[in-house]
Structure formats: C-alpha cells, structure tokens
Amino acid sequence: DDWRQKLAGSEIQICELTGDAEADQEAAAERADLIVATPEKWDAFTRFRRSAHSVLARVSLVLVDEIHLLADESRGPTLEAIIARMKLHAQSPDTRTCPIASLRLVGVSATIANLEDIGAWFGPQCAILEFDSAFRPVPLSWHVLSWQMNITYRFDEELRRHVFQVVRSHCNSRPTMVFFNSRENAAKGAEEVARQAGGVLVQVEKTARALGVVASRCADHRLAEQLRRGVGHHHAGLSTEDKRLVEGAFRAGELPILCSTVGLAQGVNLPAHLVVLCNTCRYIAGGFKEYSQMDVLQMAGRAGRPQFDTSGTCVVMCRAEQSQVYRKMLAGECTIESELQKQLPAHLNSEIAS
C-alpha cells in the first residue's frame, strides 16, 4: 500500500506476492513493473509457476529489505536460496539479452559488523555504504536491564513485577508497547501493570471515557477490566473484534500501555515511543530458546517510527548472563552468518525438482 501511494499517478503497475496472494495476483506478476514479495512466496513462485522464467528474465533490480534476515535459522536459508537463484539466472546464457543479465542487487540492513562479507557474497563490484545513527530519521536509544535468574519458571513472574517501573522511567508519558514471550504472560503482565498503576493512567477524563467505550465492546472480560485502567493485552487467542478494538485504541493514542506477544511486531503497524522486551527467551518445542536477532530488531523497530514521533526508546529486560549479548546486538556488533547449511539438502532437492 505504501508503494501504491508513493507511485500513484504513474503508469507503474505494482503486484503483491505474499502468503495472502491469490492466483490472479500471481498472474498479475507477469505484467507488473514492481513486485513486492516475501522471500517464501517469491521462492515458491519462481520454482512452481510456469510463467516464472519469463518474469525472472524481466527483473533488473532486486531490493532486499532487512538483509540481516540471512542469520535467521528459519527464514534465512530461503532468502539466501532465492538470491543465489537470481544471480544464477543473471549468468545464464539463455538470459544474455534479457534485463536480468544486468541484475543489480541492493541489500538494506540494520547495523551489522561484517558488511564486507555480505558485500563479497553479492559480488566483486558491490559497493558498501554505511550510515551511522546521525542518518536515522528518529533517534533511538537503547537500554539493557538484567536480573539474576535463580528458578527458570519463576523468572517471568520476577520480570513482570518490574515492568511498570521500567515503563514509568522511560515512557515520557508516551505510548508504550511491552512484548512478552507467551499469551498468558502478556495477559498477566497487563494485569500486573494495571494493578501497580492504579488509576494513574486514566486520570484524563477524555482518555478514561474513550477506554470505557472500548471496554464495553470487548467480549473478553479480563481485557475489558484492564482497558478501564489504561492497559491492554493482545495475542492470537483474542477474538478478531477484540484485537481490532485494542489496536484501534492504541493507534488513536487512547491506550497508554499495550502488552503483547511477539507476533504483533511482525504484523500490524502500531508505532510506540517506548518498546520493552520482557524476557528474551520463550518456550518452543520442549525447551527455552532465545529470540533471534530478527525478532529483537523487529520488536525494537516499533519504537520511534517516522511520522509518528521525534524519538524512541527500547528497553531489553533479560537474564544477567545474556546482557552482553544484547548490548552487542543493539550496538550493531553482531555478525551475520549463513544458516543455509542447516537446510541445504532440502533447498538443493527443491532446485533439482523444479
């Protein structure tokens, strides 16, 4: 939608290829001048669509947003595979007279330590441009706060008790989004914040009245009670209507604090002044696992969005032994390494089969 608005009035045809794309949208890619796609959808499209070869031949520029996704063990291999496929098509004798023969690759990333490695992989003629924080349209400050973890299952409870104090210290009376590692923790975190806040978040009559109206429309009674005290929670377990109500209240500036699961960072655009990560690991497949760098950067990226704020703040609440890891990550000192080897047989078989 952003691209359509920016290019409104031009003759450039835009096509969206995502997981929600319909068959007619895939057909539209054959006529499009600009294709906006997810790595997974472009991977499937270029391997299975009969017309994909003619579409690929017309591509002369590939812009990869968030190239640091290469280090994500689940999505990184797919991104690496499609970039390699594009480079391979560009070198094919069959496309020598096609636009793809002069393919340009542009990768955009958060600050990473080994840009030269990415540049070398792109090709010998790759130009590397580094921009420091002075080029950021909205200044973003980072804070890493750590606690000793004595008992694993009690750590979330310990952190929840500190969330309101962290928010009060850093929010500057602006909208705040707190990310939790599970649905239950998001709901319990909202309850704890509401309990500690008392009525301080709804002292303005206009805010209290607006949230009262929103709460009266909520089917979830737990959520409704939190909203009346200026706090809300959001996760996939809520009804579609309840989620829409919470998102609308936060976007309108009526809801001061929103407690959510990680999924909200990857979907709906809800800008905040302050983003808090309450714990940096979650329970997956029988064990606790740290957030990926991609997860952390996506959550942090909700703070201080252009057109909405003049500054932003991100606070990471983690275990003491992980504090240095996140300080390096947020300072751009982490390296990006390939994860393709972990899924190499699957991607090789896919290339051969297609």
Strands (E), the chain: 14-17, 34-37, 61-64, 104-107, 140-147, 176-180, 231-234, 257-261, 274-278, 281-284, 287-290, 312-319
Mean model confidence pLDDT for the chain? 89
Average pLDDT score over residue span 256-269: 83
Within 10 Å of residue 214's Cβ, how many Cβ atoms? 21
Label residue 43 by pLDDT band (50, 70, 90): very high
Rounded alpha-carbon distances, angstroms, from residue 105 to 110, 122, 166, 179, 255? 17, 7, 42, 34, 42
Q: Which of 259, 266, 257, 261 is nearest to 283 (CA)?
A: 261
Highest mean pLDDT: which range of 147-151, 241-245, 282-286, 332-336? 241-245
3-class SS at 51? Answer: coil
Given this model, what pLDDT does residue 59 score? Answer: 95
Quickly list DSSP for 74-130. TTHHHHHHHHHHHHHHHT-GGGTTSGGGG-EEEE--S--S-HHHHHHHH-TT-----
For residues 183 and 54, what is the distance between their CA atoms, to the nearest angstrom? 45
Average pLDDT score over residue span 9-26: 78
Residues 6+ away with beta carbon under 8 Å from 115: 109, 128, 130
Q: Which of 220, 145, 229, 158 is nearest to 193 (CA)?
A: 229
Average pLDDT score over residue span 36-62: 88
Phi, psi for residue 320 in degrees, rounded to 5: -55, -40
Average pLDDT score over residue span 260-277: 84
Given this model, what pLDDT does residue 21 score? Answer: 55
Label residue 62 by pLDDT band (50, 70, 90): very high
pLDDT over 80 (residue 34): yes
- Which pTM value belongs to this model? 0.77
pLDDT over 70 (residue 268): no
Label residue 5 by pLDDT band (50, 70, 90): confident
For residues 320 and 160, what is the distance between their CA atoms, to the nearest angstrom? 16
Average pLDDT score over residue span 164-181: 94
Given this model, what pLDDT does residue 287 score? Answer: 82
DSSP 341: G
Label residue 120 by pLDDT band (50, 70, 90): very high
